[in-house]
Amino acid sequence: MTYMDVLQQVKKKQLESVYLLYGTESYFIQKITTAIKTAVLSNDANSDEHFTIYDLEETPVQDVIADAETYPLFGGMKLIIATNPSFLKTKPDKLPFEHDLDRLTWYLQEPVDYSIIIFTAPYEKIDERKKVAKLLKQNGTTAECNPIKEYDLRSWISNFASSMGLSIQDDVYELLESELTADLHLLRNELYKLKLYVGENGTVTREIAEKLVAYTGNSTSLRLVDAVIDRDLHRAILIYKDLEKINEEPVGLVALLAFQFRAILRVKLLNRKGYSQSQMQKQLGTHPYVIKMALQREKKFTATRLQDIMDKLAETDHAMKDGSMEKELAFELLLYHLVQ
């Protein structure tokens, strides 16, 4: 089932005895577990006694089942969350104890009606060929909680903004899509920060977003590329010094610059062949905003100059990694070369 399907069922209080939530999008897992906890324990005077979290990297699953089968002392329902069930992975983690999976499979066939167990597996995939995984799907509710697709990001931005009473100008969407990618926790936090700044029913402009949205690796490299394009060594050095203060590594910054200039070079070559922007995006598998910005930038470079920049980035990366040059000095010299 999808995240939304499970969430809608829970909100209608159509609850199951066992849930499996797997995937790397923690926002989805947290929303479902919170909704189940609210549905099960919100009116329970003994909610603290009826709610337990186990880490299956520290506790064998048979102990979790024993807890689930123990009738609650004060009556009512018990809610148990069991995290990190690595036995669902193709290659389970090595642990100092054994999980009794036979005990779990027996329970899954006849779970008690006074306990709900939520297994949360922060893995992109589980091994669905395993007997225990099949039983979890057959006798419980399974929800895939992996990150949203890039083409869905705009609608999530719009939904979050609407729920917060925010109005967002059109050109801000591209910035948010590029900077925050598909991390919904980060997206929601950044939008909430914008709400605090503009107030209830306020409007977020491009200027406000650029000032307040937390810079990611992608935005860092874009700012440095802009400084290089403008041949503004002073600004490039200032950006670098700001990044030093938050412990950004020069090697990582070289990699980020390489990503941007590689995109510019590849877009330039595809543009020569008559590719459309959508065709470029499909060919390169890159966010549409990256393609759009690369198209704007490629006009300011020859293919030869871009290849020279890529060579210089590779040389700097090698010098940093083999220790032949001090990293900070190597990066400043790189910036000097790029603005020439």
Q: pLDDT tens, 116-169?
A: 999 999 998 899 899 999 999 899 999 999 888 777 888 888 989 998 999 998
Considering only 73-87, 249-263, 266-280, which range has the smallest mean pLDDT?
A: 249-263
Answer yes or no: are the C-beta atoms of 114 and 71 closer than 8 Å. yes
Q: What is the pLDDT of residue 64?
A: 96
Among 53-57, 239-243, 254-258, name the one with the lowest average pLDDT: 239-243
Q: Which 3 state secondary structure label does DSSP give 46?
A: coil
The contacts of residue 160 (CB under 8 Å, 6+ apart) are 187, 188, 191
Cα gap 183→198, rounded to integer Å? 23
For the chain, the domains span 3-144, 150-212, 217-339
Residue 259 pLDDT class (50, 70, 90 cuts): confident
Could you tell me if 156 and 25 are in contact, meaning their C-beta atoms sit under 8 angstroms apart? Answer: no
Task: Return the top range by mean pLDDT from 45-49, 309-313, 336-340.
Answer: 309-313
pLDDT computed for residue 174 by the predictor: 75
pLDDT tens for 4-36 read: 889 889 988 899 999 999 998 888 999 999 999
pLDDT the model gives residue 292: 81
Residue with tokens 């802009």: 226
**CATH number given to 217-339:** 1.20.272.10
pLDDT value for 51: 92
Architecture of the 3-144 domain = 3-Layer(aba) Sandwich (3.40)
pLDDT of residue 147: 80
Q: Which helix (H) or strand (E) holds 168?
A: strand 167-168
Does residue 246 or residue 297 have the better pLDDT?
297
**CATH class in words for 150-212:** mainly alpha
Higher-pLDDT residue of 149, 294: 294
